[in-house]
Amino acid sequence: MDLLGFLSIGFATALSWSNILVCFAGVFLGTVIGVLPGLGPTATVSLLLPLTFTMNPASAVILMAGIYYGSQYGGSLTSILVRIPGESASVVTCIDGYEMAKRGRAGAALGIAAFGSFIAGIVVTIALFFVGPVLARFALRFGPPEYAALVLLGLLLVTQVSQTSCLNSLIMACLGLLLSTVGVDRIHGDQRFTFGLIGLFNGFNVAVLCMGLFAIAELLTSAEGRENTPKPVAQPRRLREMLPNREEWRRSTLPITRGTALGFLLGILPGGGATIASFAAYVMERRISKHPERFGQGAIEGVAGPESANNAAAQASFIPLLSLGIPANAVLAVVLASLLVQGVLPGPTLMTKSPDLFFGVIISMLVGNVILVVLNVPLISVFVLLLRVPISILSPLIIVFCVIGAYSLDNSSADVLMMVGLGLAGYLMRKVDLDPAPLVLAFVLGQIFETALQQSLLVGRGSLGVFLDRPIAAFLIGCSVCLIVFQAGGAILARARAAAGRGSRNESQPMRRFSRPPP
């Protein structure tokens, strides 16, 4: 069968009334759970798993896919409005999205997040249709050494996700790395920093970390009721004025394009995912921006890039799932399970054996994205009203959802306690001007890095040469080395210039900050 045939089967499946309805239910539910902090797609799809036993497999995947990428849409909402990430993939959106809201551009931030996600969703769907399965095969070349090298590169950029000084970011990143070692070691099975407490065996959950360090800490800070309390800025009242204006669109075009490409590539790597994609997009935008100083001060690029990237990655991750049977995360593991229960075996033959499923799911993403935009954009004016809800009413509600959310992750009350503890820690961090964003990124990367490094060394029978033998890994290691050389070189150059009495340039800013004596 040719592509045109597949296309018509895809459309026929996705555009049947029942599947449109299922898709609508999925994305609507996804948006709602994305908005509620803590209640994530994992808990939702596991609750729905028994329901899918009796559904048509294509409809089941369309429903679960809708929930997953719908939650990426919804996650940005609370990040932007109240600085509380609804999902770990929306942590970076807090940085500039919230600043925009403080400056009266909440609607624009929400708008660009929705449109960025929409554009990313449509482009990725089309790309998946044509090159997805081929790329997924290629992505298999990513073994443990390649992951370790990729994540190493990411770790070098970790200081870029914070507004505080470079030293502060490094402190937080180190703390994040340390926290990522808590729990039972994945390779050797030893207990580390568990103190024999069963609640710590699993280590920290990234969602618990985010809820504690961002949501609970934010609420504690606002409970002080002093100058820190966000003053609701007058937001424009008409929807048209709320939406991104021409200037904002102009600045967002390239970030959306780049975010889409990055999210697509990271999403198609088995094991990649929306969280890393969103961080990577933010760092990239900041690195290549001509005005990096605007980041953290409400730069729309810092919302457009990551929000496009996380949606692109969420959709792209269905390709390794369907064409190879490799789930990228816990949500997709449940989707895989629902397929297995139906007797559908994902793999290279799925495309020809059940084209209605494979292409129906891809085409349904077009439908889902259209529904999401139609659903979300007119509601922006309603969402913005949330800013006017008094914090005394909003806070208890958010806390309730966080507690439910933390418990629902693993049905463990230890997670709830950890969230509260991390919330107190996050509050203290705020008091001393430490930003938790680098901590979260280092935590996510640290877990992947350690496991991948140990696996690489096992693959290489103990030799580090394994990183140089494999071309992709060697290339990535080379990038890291270049980055260090350029950073250090830039800093030395800047110092020499400063000594010569001339001003230094923006590129060397992080290192210059690093060398600044503490106040």
Partner 1 sequence: MWRRVILSLLGLCVLWATGVAAQGYPTKPIQMIVAFPAGGNTDLMARALAPGLGKELGQPIVIVNKGGVGGVVGSTDLARSRPDGYTIMLSPNSPLTILPHQQKLTYTLDSFRFVCLTYDNPFVLAAGPQAPFKTFAEFVTFAKAKPNNVAYASGGPGSMPHLLFLDIFRQIGAEGVHIPFTGAGPQVQAILGGTVQVMIDSPATVSSNNLPLLAVFAAKRLASMPNVPTMQELGLDLKAFSAGGLIVPAGTPDAVVATLDRACVKATESEGYLGTLAKLKAAARHLPADRFRELFVEDSARNYETIRRAGMLPKP
Give the binding site for partner 1 (CB under 8 A). Answer: 42, 45-46, 49-50, 53, 140-144, 184, 186-189, 191, 198, 201-202, 270-271, 320, 324-328, 330, 333-338, 340-343, 345-349, 410-412, 451, 455, 458-459, 461
CA distance 497 to 503: 7
| Beta carbon of residue 149, minimum distance to partner 1 (angstroms, whole number) | 14
Helix 57-82 and helix 301-316: axis angle, to 10°?
160
Q: Is 238 exposed, middle or buried (0-12, 13-18, 19+ CB in 10 A)?
A: exposed
| Residue with smaller CB distance to partner 1, 93 or 451 | 451
| Beta carbon of residue 56, minimum distance to partner 1 (angstroms, whole number) | 14
| Beta carbon of residue 345, minimum distance to partner 1 (angstroms, whole number) | 4
Number of H helices, E strands in the chain: 25, 2
| Beta carbon of residue 311, minimum distance to partner 1 (angstroms, whole number) | 22
CA distance 76 to 314: 14
Give me 126's structure tokens: 């089309």
| Residue with smaller CB distance to partner 1, 39 or 112 | 39
| Beta carbon of residue 91, minimum distance to partner 1 (angstroms, whole number) | 23
CA distance 39 to 54: 25
| Beta carbon of residue 415, minimum distance to partner 1 (angstroms, whole number) | 11
Q: SS3 letters for 484-498?
A: HHHHHHHHHHHHHHH
| Residue with smaller CB distance to partner 1, 407 or 514 | 407
Give me 453's structure tokens: 């490094």
> CA dihedral defined by 450, 452, 455, 459, rounded to 10 degrees?
-140
Give me 226's structure tokens: 């002093």
| Beta carbon of residue 266, minimum distance to partner 1 (angstroms, whole number) | 15
Q: Is 519 exposed, middle or buried (0-12, 13-18, 19+ CB in 10 A)?
A: exposed
CA distance 393 to 391: 5
Cβ proximity of 88 and 275 under 8 Å: yes
Residues in the chain: 519
| Beta carbon of residue 186, minimum distance to partner 1 (angstroms, whole number) | 5
| Beta carbon of residue 451, minimum distance to partner 1 (angstroms, whole number) | 7
Cβ proximity of 490 and 511 under 8 Å: yes
Side-chain-facing half-sphere of 387: CA atoms under 13 Å:
28
| Residue with smaller CB distance to partner 1, 187 or 385 | 187
| Residue with smaller CB distance to partner 1, 346 or 510 | 346
Residues whose CB falls within 8 Å of the CB of residue 50, separated by 6 or more in sequence, listed in order: none
Q: How far apart are the first and last CA of the chain?
A: 69
| Residue with smaller CB distance to partner 1, 122 or 459 | 459
* 3-class SS of residue 183: strand
| Residue with smaller CB distance to partner 1, 51 or 482 | 51
| Beta carbon of residue 264, minimum distance to partner 1 (angstroms, whole number) | 19
| Residue with smaller CB distance to partner 1, 270 or 436 | 270
| Beta carbon of residue 482, minimum distance to partner 1 (angstroms, whole number) | 27
Between the alpha carbon of residue 513 and those of residues 159, 291, 493, 519, the distances in Å are 11, 17, 14, 12
CA distance 412 to 429: 26
| Residue with smaller CB distance to partner 1, 454 or 487 | 454
| Residue with smaller CB distance to partner 1, 78 or 342 | 342
| Residue with smaller CB distance to partner 1, 459 or 483 | 459
